[in-house]
């Protein structure tokens, strides 16, 4: 590969890393063509960009960004793929579902950079699954804010039903 080609790949990887907050470094080696195609289709459906990269080019791209990827350098051994997505937990959920569906232990999570936090190792997969996205957090906050208002409205409605029942009973009572 020519030096110009390598520099172009490094620049495009650096742009990809710089523009995204959620980056997963995985190992999808030893997957057959059918399983790799299935994984790529599932990534496409969930708006995950999956790219197989050379470790040296990825490291150089990481060094070109202003993010602190240094803890992830140790994961750049063997076969490496990069998964990039808007939501922090979607790639982790996909990895777990794919493993269960394909009945294999691949893809292996080497490391992740999610919302400016670094996670190293495959044992961090469940932690990453439990990270809530921005929209999920907003939905939780709205639900918590609505709960007291719903309780007040419910209490007022039940009180109104009691009051109308009492008035009805008193009006039907002979004098």
Q: Write out pLDDT tens, residues 5-29.
A: 888 888 888 888 888 888 999 998 8
Q: Check residues 151 and 38 and name the one with the higher pLDDT.
A: 38
Separation between Cα atoms, residue 109 and residue 125, nearest integer Å:
7
Asked if 138 and 123 sit in the same domain, the reply is: no
User: Is there a single domain that holds both residue 110 and residue 140?
Assistant: no
Asked if 147 and 66 sit in the same domain, the reply is no
Percentage of the chain beyond pLDDT 70 is: 90
* Residues 52 and 115 occupy one common structural domain: yes
Q: What is the CATH number of the domain that holds 33?
A: 3.30.70.1730
Phi, psi of 148 (to 5 degrees): -65, -40
Domain of residue 92 covers 3-131
Q: What is the pLDDT of residue 25?
A: 92
Select from 93, 74, 68, 73 the least CA-distant residue to 83.
Answer: 93
How many domains, in total, are found in the chain? 2
**Do 48 and 93 have their domain in common?**
yes
One domain, residues 81 and 110: yes
Q: Are residues 99 and 144 in the same domain?
A: no
82 in the same domain as 69: yes
pLDDT for the residue 44: 92
> What's the DSSP call for residue 75?
G
Mean pLDDT confidence for 68-89: 88
Tell me, what's the pLDDT at 172? 75
* pLDDT for the residue 66: 87
**Section 76-105 average pLDDT:** 87
Same domain as 146, residue 78: no
User: How many residues in total does the chain contain?
Assistant: 175
Reported as type and span, the H/E element at residue 110 is: strand 108-114
pLDDT tens digit sequence for 105-164: 888 889 999 888 889 988 888 888 888 777 778 888 888 887 776 776 776 666 656 666
Instruction: Tell whether 47 and 71 lie within a shared domain.
Output: yes
């Amino acid at each position: 590969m020519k030096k110009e080609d390598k520099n172009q790949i490094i620049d495009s990887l650096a742009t990809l890393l710089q523009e995204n907050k959620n980056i997963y470094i995985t190992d999808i080696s030893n997957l057959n063509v059918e399983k790799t195609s299935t994984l790529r289709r599932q990534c496409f459906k969930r708006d995950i960009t999956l790219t197989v990269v050379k470790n040296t080019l990825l490291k150089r791209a990481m060094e070109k960004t202003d993010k602190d990827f240094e803890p992830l350098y140790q994961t750049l051994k063997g076969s490496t793929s990069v998964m990039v997505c808007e939501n922090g937990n979607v790639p982790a959920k996909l990895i777990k579902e794919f493993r269960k569906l394909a009945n294999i232990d691949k893809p292996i999570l080497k490391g992740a950079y999610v919302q400016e936090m670094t996670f190293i190792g495959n044992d961090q997969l469940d932690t990453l699954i439990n990270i809530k996205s921005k929209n999920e957090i907003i939905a939780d906050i709205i639900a918590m804010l609505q709960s007291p208002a719903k309780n007040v409205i419910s209490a007022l409605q039940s009180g109104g039903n009691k009051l109308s029942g009492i008035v009805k009973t008193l009006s039907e009572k002979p004098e």
